[in-house]
Structure 1
């Protein structure tokens, strides 16, 4: 790997540099104790160099542990290769998707021409969970010839803790959907963008927590009901899909598998396949073994009937810690013979926005091909 970002050699060099600069600062400090301009400049230079080396070492160590960036190009946002969807059903093949171009902003553009993004608050009728969201309505939604038409919709989830606005401003979901529809690459689609953290600051992992937030029920029942009440969203089955990255990716896969009659497709970008238990989640299952097993997608595939739904998973050969699990998950789903599975596997890409931006155009096109309007 040479001196790549994730190379152990780079980490060792950074640590050695920090140690040597610290030792050099201690050794040279008495000689730089004078009040001359040169001495002051030397002290400032040594302190600055030591701190930079220290932060670099800590950052490289954290990156190796969590896989935020796969390479120097990934770190500086220079990875541009777009994701390719591979359909793992018999007869499936690669579908190459061209990267998104910048679409002019909506300022000064009518809803009929550029669509509209609404900021709303959603309150669950049965769970009483309240959470903010952004809703993207495509331009066709406002055009007279489509006034009686219903539209497919995709719920889009952030990671944990995440901010819903990042789905609009950093991951560019509405802009990408608008461009793909204009290019004829997918049908116009409503996007409902929010974070899975509906009971902040707790990470509920989209679980119905005993005595706590009924998060899965919110996404499986309350949210779809609210959308169909207030927007022209296509009726089930097949009118609603769900997408997410990281924690949101796990949620998307799980909810699509648990509720195939509600969600016709689920896409997990950089997802994992089993709910963690840590300081952010607390005790999600309260000793309920059945609930814990149900939240484990490995267990679910082995012990429950295969759901009639379509799934998409993503990873990268270099940079993502979920690569081996993702390949194993594809094999497990293929073995069911009923659940349909597709994937986007990048050569290189870390657990970050730049990677997901490369996967989102292909993901939206895939989703659009599996949902129905009217």
Structure 2
């Protein structure tokens, strides 16, 4: 059974209730002295507690989608696949599933658009990784067969599943609603995790692989532009993310203005976090380690003609100080905007409030010819 399935959660809850009832029934029999009754009582208590905590964990995970699969939970996930062959002119994007957007009329693509689950192959990075592609209804409407659309890469935090960007962070639904209200131009969204492997690669080209920065900076725009009606020019491309995904979005937009015109960091970090989830990202390469510090990069590397949007909160966020420093360090020809909430934590509720203005801001800065 899937880790996030309702069947597994219900099964665990039923087992918990049955075992609790059995414990109540058996307890008088285990009240006698002796090592066997004591062992029985300990075993029952531990078993009930294990099932209670499992039920709570499964419920929270199903709501928050922190871990999407058993492999993610156990640390055995290996979502990237090395590509040893040349694409031979074949599409670098393979559609492996479709689903309806959670919008009125979502059953009809011309009304609600479509969400495609795809595998994206990186031509330079030599990896393949899954993503969701949201195509707006205008993409399917008659008369738009030759129309091109801007695109935005949308990244989760880590750990996290790409499904987080469908619910509880409703990016396709919000984009559909804003376009319908004429507050934002129709836009294609590519929804992903901020890594191309089981490690938290944080958009760094790790020596020996995986080449995470190369994938997001150049492979992904090339693959999507070759499969959908999206221009390959940087003016048509933006990238947005929250937390670790926000760091990736700002890093890629800052250091690759040749591919991205705008980047949005929601509660973003400003340098990679080295821990057990990331492992050693730099292998002693101090130059690359400094370059991955965005505040250092703003001071020491040329800034391109890129627009940035950063968000933070006066209370509840730990990135308030670094965000203010980021804003101060952005110089012409780059541009920076910001959203500072009075209160907001590092969580879905905060980011859900920031998605509509962020998509409006992003849509206003992307152009197609």
TM-score, length basis structure 1: 0.71
Cα distance in 2 for partners of 1:110, 1:142 equals 10
Residue aligning to 2:257: 260
2:182 counterpart of 1:184: yes
2:216 counterpart of 1:219: yes
Native 8 Å contact 1:234 1:373 kept in 2: yes
* Aligned-residue offset at 1:234: 2.2
The runs of 4+ residues in structure 1 deviating greater than 4 Å are none
Native 8 Å contact 2:207 2:283 kept in 1: yes
2:149 counterpart of 1:151: yes
Q: 2:350 aligns with which of 345, 351, 355?
A: 355
* Aligned-residue offset at 1:284: 0.6
* Aligned-residue offset at 1:109: 2.8
How many residue pairs align between the two structures? 274
Residue aligning to 1:369: 364
For 1:308-331, what per-residue CA distance to the aligned partner results, in whole angstroms no more than 9, with x for missing partners? 100000011110110111112111
Q: 1:111 aligns with which of 101, 109, 112?
A: 109
Native 8 Å contact 2:155 2:242 kept in 1: yes
Residue aligning to 2:278: 281
RMSD (Å), alpha carbons: 1.9
Q: 2:196 aligns with which of 195, 198, 201?
A: 198
2:329 counterpart of 1:313: no
Residue aligning to 1:123: 121
Runs of at least 5 residues in structure 1 that lack an aligned partner in the other structure: 1-32, 34-46, 56-102
Native 8 Å contact 1:115 1:139 kept in 2: yes
* Aligned-residue offset at 1:337: 2.6
* Aligned-residue offset at 1:235: 2.8
Cα distance in 2 for partners of 1:114, 1:150 equals 18
* Aligned-residue offset at 1:241: 0.4
Cα distance in 2 for partners of 1:199, 1:108 equals 32
Native 8 Å contact 2:221 2:232 kept in 1: no
- What SS is found at the alignment partner of 1:261? coil
Cα distance in 2 for partners of 1:290, 1:367 equals 31
Native 8 Å contact 1:106 1:115 kept in 2: no
Residue aligning to 1:37: none
* Aligned-residue offset at 1:237: 2.5
Give the number of the structure with larger relative contact order, counting CA–CA contacts within 8 Å between residues 6 or more apart. Answer: 1
